[in-house]
Structure 1
Amino acid sequence: MENKNFTPVEQSFLNDLSKNSKTNIPYIAVDNFPNLGMLTALRFLEWAAENPNGVISLPTGKTPEYFIYWTKHILENWENENIIELRKKHHLSANQKPSLAELHFVQIDEFYPIKSSQANSFYHYVNKYYIEGLGLKRENALLINCDEIPLAHGKSFEEVFPSHKVDLELRYREAQNPLEKLQKESIFLIDNWCSEYEQKIRKLGGIGFFLGGIGPDGHIAFNIKGSDPYSTTRLTSTNFETQAVAAGDLGGIEISRERLVITIGLETITYNKDAVAIIFAAGEAKAPMIKNALELPPSNLYPASVLSSLPNGRFYITLGAASTLNDFIADYYQSGNWSQEKTDKSVMMLTQKLNKYAEHLTLEDLQSDPYTQLIPDLNEDSVQSVITSIESKIKKGTEALTHEIFYHTGPHHDDISLGLLPYIHYQSRNETNESHYSVLTSGFTAVTNKFLTEILMATLLFTEKGEIEMLNYPDFFEVGYKNKKDKDVYHYLINIASENADERSRAVSHRMVRNIVELWNLKTKQDLEEKIIEVIAIINSSYDGQNPEQKIQTLKGMIREYEEELVWAHFGVRTKNVHHLRLGFYTGAIFTEKPKRERDVYPILQQLKTINPTVISLAFDPEGSGPDTHYKVLQAIAAAVKEWSKEKDLSQLKIWGYRNVWYQFNAADVTHIFPVSLNAMSTMDESFTNSYLSQVNASFPSYRYNGKFSHLSIQTWVEQLQAAQLILGKPYFYDNESPRLRATHGLLFFKEMNVEEFLQSARELEQSTEGVF
């Protein structure tokens, strides 16, 4: 692909990978999520300077975080010396600061129905971050306000669709009652509104600058997999993958499963053939969708492939999102020095491509493959080096460790368990080892209003019946509520063994009583009961997905903290070894704050000094490919380790990077492979099911699996074993002298680093976030 297709700003970000791309749509790959936002912001400002009256359509959600940040930051500091240098470096050659005031804005999509006043509506997002945030004119905006879309007889959507459920089958079947008749008439009115919205966009000449993310099924806007490339603005349903992603916005999959959407169509995006249309994506989880859209022929199965019809269609992606592109793979093998990792990865990829065990690969197979043929001194013994490499990682993974102090960290509750539990359980059997578990955020967003209400109602009932006996202790409301938290945990777990559901519920209520008394500083049983009734009323009056007030946030987080204590108590860990940091950057806002030194780094540093670990484990996301909390926590840990290294020699400290349900390692990238037995899988699943009460029904599931996260982790371990079996052969496991290896039915991967290696992996992201620390 020739450079002339790229603008000056784009050329400043080009690397050889992008320059020599052979994909159907040009792309630019950058190092990380913040740099992705910078590139997109600079390209947008470059376009806006040339098209001050143009038509723009910008996305909602978390992906635009750094696009919005950099756009505002550059405009607000246009003449600042650093921004002048930034503009020069990236060839933003506008003679004067671009004005966005006369741009026309088109809202891409919206849930239907949803009140425009709700903070989780896209209408609210667009007004806050684009109309007000970027200084656009409200009168120049085409917006999707569900409150203003006309319905039959002038009624509101709450009257027409009282359950917020819209049955699109009414387009095609007869109404069965007066309400359905009203709904059917209203659906056709919504359809008409959508057609008028489309015509308004076309009257403006179509969208001139489109920026969108890409969904887990490859959707752009809400044009899900299978959408017609000639589709226009419409009311439509979604699929599970899209509903799973939307669950976080709407308060649970139970709600997003029933909610329809209004979306512009694929032809809406491509109507203006001169349009600059950009899809941006970060992280390895998006890599399969990116590969399909860029390398396969345009198809309804890959909605983003429609950009191939636009001369100015582009993909801006991180290296992780580019990781499965043929360009990227070829560059990986052809550039730099050859390594054992490259040998391992190329042979593993060949076994999967041919579905052939490594021992059966011929020299001709190796010589015919574009990547294995690059192995230095390629011969019949080259495959053996891969077998030896994987075997050595398994041997390292099964080594028994002694006299270690483990500091296991997780961005959210359940991250540690999903990522490392079988290995942690294995090493914790040696009583010379000491383990600490630290969850760095409160995780309250994972607790639905419905779940909290159910627990509060049960707690109120136990209280009224006099079954929370500790309330009668004379010092309970002064100091007693702080004591015996281990008893709440034991009370719950002993009644798992006895299968007494009522007593388990009472154990949860004991902890809830302690939490409520602590949060609101209550002094009597009557105060407690009144407060529970008040909190239930507040929750019932809020909309699904609403960010609750601070103390209710904390109460939700305390439920997650209790759940975490239950998990590790399965293995004899006391509550004093389970730490809840509640770092302040985590607020439940659409964009979590950047970590700050005093608020977010020092609490971690203090724990490091107190615990003095020999091993730190963490969710390893240096690029920002998983939930944004993951890489912000990683940065806070990196900063704490860096500070600690100024006071202590950390040359012997080991850092373990793990991954779980959000994205996975390749066996070639890790240092440790741990065999997981059916017993270990069952232990993890049972501890998850028994402990993570708010997560068992998966209100916020992964788009990859409609069920519990524990099952998805097990599925990942099984898939990793299948890949390794192609290298080692199945007999290696079932016919091994070791009982542990004979019992293997899954493999767990993690990567060990020294402090310098870890800090290096985190450093680029730290620098790109400009002054985070």
Structure 2
Amino acid sequence: MIEIAEPMELEKESVSLERVPTSIFKDATEASKAVAQEIAGIIRRKNAAGKPAVLGLATGSTPKKVYAELIRMYQEGDLSFENVITFNLDEYYHIEPDAVQSYHRFMKEQLFDHVNILPENCHIPTGTLPLEKLSAFCQHYEAMIEELGGLDFQILGIGRNGHIGFNEPGSLINSRTRLMTLDITTRIDASGDFGSLAKVPRRAITMGVKAIMDAKRVVLLAFGEHKAEIIKKAIEGSVTEAVPASYLQGHVNVKFVLDEASAAELTSRKTPWLLEDVVWDKVMTKKAVTHLALSLNKPILKLTNREYNENGLSDLLANYGQAYDINIQVFQGLQHTITGWPGGKSFASDVNRPERAVPAQKRVLIFSPHPDDDIISMGGTFQRLVDQGHEVHVAYQTSGNIAVADDEALRFIDFLVDFNEKFNLENDKYGKVFEEARTFLKDKKNSEIDIPSVRYVKGLIRQGEAKATCRFVGIPTENAHFLNMPFYETGAVQKNPIGEADVQIVADIIAEIKPHQIYAAGDLADPHGTHKVCLDAIFEALARLKKEEYMNDCWVWLYRGAWAEWNIHEIEMAVPMSPTQVLQKRYGIFKHQSQKDGVVFQGSDSREFWQRAEDRNQATAELYNKLGLAEYAAIEAFVRYHY
């Protein structure tokens, strides 16, 4: 057996399969800052020339950080919007401009209300026009853009089906501004904003592909691993109406701006050794060998020299010897990730185990972004830590109140009110809260967000479910900590930016527990989502506390949510589960009754959370088995974070 040597620097001109200029940043924040700087540069140049800057704007979570950075520049006196004219890509039809989901409201809240742009210079399609007036409106909308000399800059997002604006698959390259029937994928993705698929409008007004292609400069942003597959098609695939974003391959001045997660499926990221010489360190070697084995559907130990050579890995052989030696090295590395002792096995050698043996009983702090992420994402590991005698605490970072259906809240309120009336209990303070919440919910409009009393009730429901899970697993109620981070409490899907109070709350609980282990949700599926914001707060808190003596003994493990799992080559600790443990985890998830039988934010996946969790854990176990390792019913996976 050989040891993988120190990486060698190899020189070779790289090859690219990307048909569009592409910039990849480490995260959405850095990418958004770069795009905002480009927009600011255009505004300043046009202003210096005495001309207006004509901007095409997009909505949704993707451009929010771009707008936040533009607001920052304006507030610091570095940028003026007095000479800016904007045209938004689209708007739902039919929708009132003050509705929570309206793009009119979105633009006001995310940009227009915070800068000195003139209201008459802000143009957004009108979602309340009579149908017979839409055609003339759409023609006039394009005519206004043409009279100004066209768009100087167009910012775009991309849908999971490849749409740009609301130009759905099938849209032609010469399509004009028009009323568009929304694809089911688009409506499913929007269902979180509307609370259910049934409430999502079936149509929208959208700027056509031609107007987008006529813009002088186009920048498409994509963030998060859920965009990775469509980004690969748009950048590396053929130009086709099935993926409208692929039309941008023909634009003379376009760029795709991505984060690492959304770029993950690009050949340059997924299998870079096929395009250029790479540094064959342990990480790259593990990635290449596991990819080869899974592609050929063969166990690692059965891979041959010929298969390495025929699949672009001849350089790996040239640098490190025979396939047999490399196979054993990678196989043993995977084997050493598997442990039934996530808190470390006391009185046993920990040389080849992912966790330390000492201290034998550890203080463990599990951060759960929502009140059910702990049991859904790492329920088997959670149970093992408790059963093996560790002092386990759970910190529920947000109330999770927006994920409770209105009917569920009304049922809860009715029970409390009826109970108090039956037993003549006096509780004026809380009685008024429940009555106020019940009155609001009975007459709630689609354009309204939950008032504080409703959020309080929904938060109580989820808090009670979390306590039930803790009792089921076997930790005392006092070890369940409800942080109620302020950024979350908007009553809407769109949250506030993370603030000092959020970070301090997280830092305080870490300082209180002084844990030997921290578990946190490392989800990158949606970099604007609650999981990522909660993770950012943890990272910032760790940076502030890292010099504290107790932090020298604290290891941080990242788990994934219900949506995706770590790639096999990334996994550093794999906790196997027996069939009995799988069932026990399922019953723990069942304690969250408000999240069963029709979740508010179901997304594109019709499975319930316990089904998603089981399928994901079983799939991870199957991957280990396919690679030639032991066969388990399920596996929960973790990656260590070094702060």
What is the identity, as a one-letter code, of the residue corresponding to 1:42? Q
Say which SS state the counterpart of residue 599 (structure 2) adopts.
coil
Matched, 1:362 2:304: yes
Trace 1:660-675 onto structure 2 (pairs within 5 A). Answer: 660-675=561-576
Q: Cα 1:681–1:210, aligned 2, differ >3 Å: closer, same or farther?
A: farther
What is the identity, as a one-letter code, of the residue corresponding to 2:207? I
Matched, 1:75 2:74: yes
Report if aligned partners of 2:403, 2:599 keep a CA contact under 8 Å in 1.
no
Say which SS state the counterpart of residue 651 (structure 1) adopts.
helix
Per-residue deviation, residues 128-158 of structure 1 (Å, max 9, x unmatched): 43443343333233322323x02xxxxxxxx
**TM-score calculated relative to the size of structure 2:** 0.86
What is the identity, as a one-letter code, of the residue corresponding to 1:750? F
Q: Cα 1:612–1:133, aligned 2, differ >3 Å: closer, same or farther?
A: closer
1:314 Cα deviation from its structure 2 partner: 1.1
1:625 Cα deviation from its structure 2 partner: 4.6
Aligned with 1:657 (options 558, 575, 584): 558
What is the identity, as a one-letter code, of the residue corresponding to 2:44? A
1:397 Cα deviation from its structure 2 partner: 6.0
Aligned match of 1:691: 592
Matched, 1:419 2:377: yes
What is the identity, as a one-letter code, of the residue corresponding to 1:712? R
1:206 Cα deviation from its structure 2 partner: 4.3
Per-residue deviation, residues 186-223 of structure 1 (Å, max 9, x unmatched): 4x554564455445545555433211222233322223
Say which SS state the counterpart of residue 594 (structure 2) adopts.
coil
Matched, 1:65 2:64: yes
Say which SS state the counterpart of residue 618 (structure 1) adopts.
strand
Aligned match of 1:751: 639
Q: Cα 1:72–1:532, aligned 2, differ >3 Å: closer, same or farther?
A: closer
Report if aligned partners of 2:164, 2:244 keep a CA contact under 8 Å in 1.
yes
Aligned match of 2:221: 280
Q: Cα 1:50–1:639, aligned 2, differ >3 Å: closer, same or farther?
A: closer
Report if aligned partners of 2:386, 2:474 keep a CA contact under 8 Å in 1.
no
Matched, 1:143 2:143: no
Aligned match of 2:625: 725
**TM-score calculated relative to the size of structure 1:** 0.73
Q: Cα 1:412–1:201, aligned 2, differ >3 Å: closer, same or farther?
A: same
Aligned with 1:457 (options 401, 414, 421): 414
Report if aligned partners of 1:696, 1:708 keep a CA contact under 8 Å in 2.
yes
CA distance in 2, matches of 1:676, 1:227: 47
Q: Cα 1:17–1:325, aligned 2, differ >3 Å: closer, same or farther?
A: farther
CA distance in 2, matches of 1:143, 1:199: 14
Per-residue deviation, residues 46-79 of structure 1 (Å, max 9, x unmatched): 2233444343221212222221122122233356
What is the identity, as a one-letter code, of the residue corresponding to 1:628? G
CA distance in 2, matches of 1:421, 1:229: 49
Report if aligned partners of 1:130, 1:136 keep a CA contact under 8 Å in 2.
no
CA distance in 1, matches of 2:44, 2:335: 58
Q: Cα 1:196–1:688, aligned 2, differ >3 Å: closer, same or farther?
A: farther
Aligned match of 2:610: 710
Aligned with 1:341 (options 283, 287, 300): 283
CA distance in 2, matches of 1:640, 1:37: 23
Say which structure is richer in helix.
1
CA distance in 2, matches of 1:275, 1:296: 24
Matched, 1:446 2:445: no
What is the identity, as a one-letter code, of the residue corresponding to 1:383? N
Aligned with 2:484 (options 582, 587, 603): 582
Aligned match of 1:534: 436
Q: Cα 1:408–1:667, aligned 2, differ >3 Å: closer, same or farther?
A: same
Matched, 1:120 2:101: yes
CA distance in 1, matches of 2:468, 2:158: 37
Per-residue deviation, residues 508-543 of structure 1 (Å, max 9, x unmatched): xxxxxxxxx7xxx34xxxxx2x65343222233332
What is the identity, as a one-letter code, of the residue corresponding to 1:33? A
Q: Cα 1:108–1:347, aligned 2, differ >3 Å: closer, same or farther?
A: same
1:720 Cα deviation from its structure 2 partner: 2.4
Trace 1:590-609 onto structure 2 (pairs within 5 A). Answer: 592-597=495-500, 599-609=501-511
1:407 Cα deviation from its structure 2 partner: 0.7
Query: Structure 1 stretches of 5 or more lacking a match?
Result: 1-15, 80-96, 151-185, 478-516, 523-527, 734-743, 760-773
Aligned match of 1:269: 212
CA distance in 1, matches of 2:588, 2:13: 46
What is the identity, as a one-letter code, of the residue corresponding to 2:280? W
Per-residue deviation, residues 580-622 of structure 1 (Å, max 9, x unmatched): 011122232665344444x22333333233323221110125x
Report if aligned partners of 1:346, 1:372 keep a CA contact under 8 Å in 2.
no
CA distance in 2, matches of 1:710, 1:57: 42
Aligned match of 2:350: none
Report if aligned partners of 2:399, 2:463 keep a CA contact under 8 Å in 1.
yes
CA distance in 1, matches of 2:33, 2:508: 34
Report if aligned partners of 2:525, 2:563 keep a CA contact under 8 Å in 1.
no
Say which SS state the counterpart of residue 637 (structure 2) adopts.
strand
Report if aligned partners of 2:175, 2:210 keep a CA contact under 8 Å in 1.
yes
1:421 Cα deviation from its structure 2 partner: 0.7
Q: Cα 1:371–1:411, aligned 2, differ >3 Å: closer, same or farther?
A: farther
Matched, 1:24 2:19: yes
Trace 1:252-651 onto structure 2 (pairs within 5 A). Answer: 252-256=196-200, 259-270=202-213, 272=214, 275-329=216-270, 337-371=279-313, 373-374=315-316, 376-381=319-324, 382-395=326-339, 400=345, 402-430=360-388, 432-464=389-421, 466=422, 469=423, 472=425, 477=427, 521-522=429-430, 528=431, 531-544=433-446, 546-588=448-490, 592-597=495-500, 599-621=501-523, 625-651=526-552
Report if aligned partners of 1:615, 1:655 keep a CA contact under 8 Å in 2.
yes
Alignment length (residue pairs): 611
Q: Cα 1:596–1:102, aligned 2, differ >3 Å: closer, same or farther?
A: closer
Say which SS state the counterpart of residue 278 (structure 1) adopts.
strand
Per-residue deviation, residues 165-204 of structure 1 (Å, max 9, x unmatched): xxxxxxxxxxxxxxxxxxxxx4x55456445544554555
1:27 Cα deviation from its structure 2 partner: 0.9
Report if aligned partners of 1:285, 1:626 keep a CA contact under 8 Å in 2.
no
Per-residue deviation, residues 337-395 of structure 1 (Å, max 9, x unmatched): 53222222101111233334434432111022224642532313122222222111114
CA distance in 1, matches of 2:135, 2:14: 44
Say which SS state the counterpart of residue 570 (structure 1) adopts.
helix
Report if aligned partners of 1:18, 1:29 keep a CA contact under 8 Å in 2.
no
Say which SS state the counterpart of residue 606 (structure 1) adopts.
helix
Q: Cα 1:238–1:458, aligned 2, differ >3 Å: closer, same or farther?
A: farther
Per-residue deviation, residues 214-244 of structure 1 (Å, max 9, x unmatched): 2233322223344444433333333443233
Aligned with 2:194 (options 245, 250, 273): 250
Q: Cα 1:249–1:325, aligned 2, differ >3 Å: closer, same or farther?
A: same
Report if aligned partners of 1:32, 1:624 keep a CA contact under 8 Å in 2.
no
Aligned with 2:29 (options 34, 48, 57): 34
Q: Cα 1:624–1:39, aligned 2, differ >3 Å: closer, same or farther?
A: farther
CA distance in 2, matches of 1:229, 1:570: 57
- Output the aligned Cα RMSD: 3.1
Aligned match of 1:48: 43
What is the identity, as a one-letter code, of the residue corresponding to 1:260? R
Report if aligned partners of 2:168, 2:183 keep a CA contact under 8 Å in 1.
yes
Q: Cα 1:360–1:237, aligned 2, differ >3 Å: closer, same or farther?
A: farther
Per-residue deviation, residues 108-137 of structure 1 (Å, max 9, x unmatched): 122222211223311112234344334333
Q: Cα 1:204–1:644, aligned 2, differ >3 Å: closer, same or farther?
A: closer
Report if aligned partners of 2:55, 2:151 keep a CA contact under 8 Å in 1.
yes
What is the identity, as a one-letter code, of the residue corresponding to 1:654? W
1:275 Cα deviation from its structure 2 partner: 2.3
Report if aligned partners of 1:330, 1:371 keep a CA contact under 8 Å in 2.
no
Aligned match of 1:93: none
What is the identity, as a one-letter code, of the residue corresponding to 2:265? T
CA distance in 2, matches of 1:661, 1:640: 25
Say which SS state the counterpart of residue 280 (structure 2) adopts.
coil
